[in-house]
Structure 1
């Protein structure tokens, strides 16, 4: 004969079946909202626009909308329209220029 008698199995845990499945509509203390619960409150996700003209992007020419905008961006890179500004000290710039001139005289001019 078994020492302990087992009763019917509980379904859902200590708070009962409705609490385990979330059917009660109440949250347990410390329980966070699920991200899908707040979809109605969030803004719809907007697709990034073409950086050149602002039109919607095309998957074929990503991140641009067309070959024309891709070529326009390439032309800007090749013509040095995109420049990273660098703040140099005047003394440092003069020293770099002197080093460049010394290096050219040793190798010969191009």
Structure 2
């Protein structure tokens, strides 16, 4: 059992050394190895596409959220006006009625008081 374990650890160590040698061979030198360049470009392309899609999603969802908020404001204003307009109409009609009553009463008192003063003279 000890010999098998020793062989596994030796194989693992030799794999690590081989991997490091291969990595150094790819990275050290005047130019990068074409396979490493291909790997880097593929990683870049395959990660940029979802990133651009995510940025587009954020932009479009922001537009949709702002559009929905503006639409909600419009609906609120319209429904608010639907409640406010009858109130304003009632208040305006009340103001006209009260003004007409005050004018009628003041006219009545001015004519009756002028007739009263005319009789006194």
Return the structure number with greater relative CO, CA threshold 8 A, min gap 6. Answer: 1
TM over 0.5: no
More helix by share: 2
> What's the TM-score, normalizing by structure 1?
0.27
> What's the TM-score, normalizing by structure 2?
0.25
Look at both structures and tell me which one has the larger radius of gyration over its CA atoms: 2
